[in-house]
A and B are shown apart, each in its own frame.
Chain A
């Protein structure tokens, strides 16, 4: 900190800057400080406005257009919207997204909470365990998805081999990603395995915020561990649980990479989800207007969850 010290020493009684400030009128000073503030924001904001805000507005407009990306854009009115209802792939994608969400959100949440409670205790090697649980979250999806595909390979993979040695009939063996009935299960299991470490860390942060006196009071009342968990931990973690639910829900609406790597939306349309459909319509069919209309559906799903979150937060504050 020698530099800052020297600044403080040399400008310790800064006659000059102070005089400068005094010369400026109140209005000038206001403008000047606003300019300083804007100069802080500008580098980020300019990039953000051009590459995020602009495209978002463009996406809304594009949903009401017909365009293949090279020929002329034409106005489509609600054509793209009505098309949604007759598009079997879209309907499948919509329901698959909902199924994925309904199945994976509670499961991930419970696993994350359970792990956080376990790893919040004083146990040897706690940091190692925490790091191990978190690692799937940061690991490259392409790399782990390919292992996942190999481990869950219906014919040769170790998972079915273990089931076989446990005495399961090979005829009833799950076909995992290759099987219409098991493909979604495979993708969901993969999602839980990959994401739960992240939400565990959020829960750990939540647990550390709980006042220890509450547990002491519960001890005095003779509560056992389970009673303490139900009557102290769970209610105290309410806001964290709510946050985790919202984050997980939004995240599961956006699921794409793991599906692209494991099932490509198949077999049939059994794991086709909204983002996958957007991708197909845009970059495979070049039907940019229609793909933007599906984006709009995704947007409204996320918006609904976000508004719900805001309402809930207000109620909590009130």
Chain B
């Protein structure tokens, strides 16, 4: 059979069938969430599933803002996420430049120290870290979470891997032209490393926005809480208000969806070029 000049084989049909089925399975929970967010709680579990509610309850999306301080939680999370992401990008790419393009004493020892901690689960040192922060009086502050997440070995490693792939001759040429190292970093390395910066942005943004255990340990005051903790609080407080819970969940997903969709084209490129694939 031919459609639009292309030969349609059994293999092609099978390929599409598998891909579409898997995609439906992967997206089903989101479709269900979206659909349930527009229903009355008593209709959420109606079976067969009514995917598009006949009477969409837009009110759910109005109510969630008054039942919990959702706007405040979003503000808190946005603040944390933006500060952490910017600090990560800045300090990681800055340090990575030295590791990739400069020579200095103890370079390999220091870098080994960084690498060694990448695989180290955060949970191994979360308790001493908590005690340290408590000692600094940082409990119930956003600063604690910023300190926790802004200086990672992973960021340095990722940026360094990418910088290694940029020809060193470029830096040497710039030096001959009279640029100092800071200028080379700002005007040559940073503009060239967009895929790596995008990858790091997605990783950091997503992990900070979605972080759960960190805020749970450090933030007990309601006015400091993040979306994830607020959402969980909401789930336990209004456990039977399924429609509202789903509406709040949708709201918590939107920012990540936006960042992800706008940066995702860099993603495969970023993973491929930074050697994250090993």
Contacts and interface: CB of A to CB of B under 8 A. Distances in A.
A144 B29 contact: yes
A121 B14 CA distance: 13
B33 A147 contact: yes
Interface string B103-125: 11101001001100101111111
Interface string A8-20: 1001101001000
Interface in A191-207: 193, 197, 201-202, 204-206
Contact of B127 (A62, A150, A193, A205): A62
A282 B126 CA distance: 9
Contacts of A288: 127, 131
Contacts of B121: 250, 253-254, 275, 298-299, 302
Given A58-B132, A62-B128, A139 B181 contact: no
A129 interface: yes
**Secondary structure of the B contact surface, majority rule:** helix
A40 interface: yes
Interface string A276-318: 0011001100001001100110110011011000000000000
Contacts of B242: 150
Interface of B: 11, 15-16, 18-19, 22-23, 25-30, 32-33, 36, 44-45, 47-49, 90-92, 94-95, 97-99, 102-105, 107, 110, 113-114, 117, 119-132, 147-148, 150-153, 155-156, 177-181, 183, 185, 187, 202, 206, 209-210, 212-213, 217, 227-228, 231-232, 235, 242, 245-246, 249-250, 252-253, 256-257, 260-261, 264-265, 267-268, 271-272, 276-278
Given A12-B177, A139-B253, 7 more contacts: A4-B183, A40-B98, A45-B95, A140-B231, A150-B45, A193-B29, A298-B121
11 contacts: A8-B177, A33-B104, A43-B95, A48-B152, A51-B147, A55-B128, A123-B19, A142-B235, A153-B45, A257-B212, A291-B127
Interface of A: 1, 3-4, 7-8, 11-12, 14, 17, 33-34, 36-38, 40-41, 43-48, 50-56, 58-59, 62, 69, 115, 118-119, 121, 123, 127, 129-136, 138-144, 146-148, 150-151, 153, 156-158, 161, 193, 197, 201-202, 204-206, 208-209, 225, 239-240, 242-244, 250, 253-254, 256-257, 260-261, 275, 278-279, 282-283, 288, 291-292, 295-296, 298-299, 302-303, 305-306
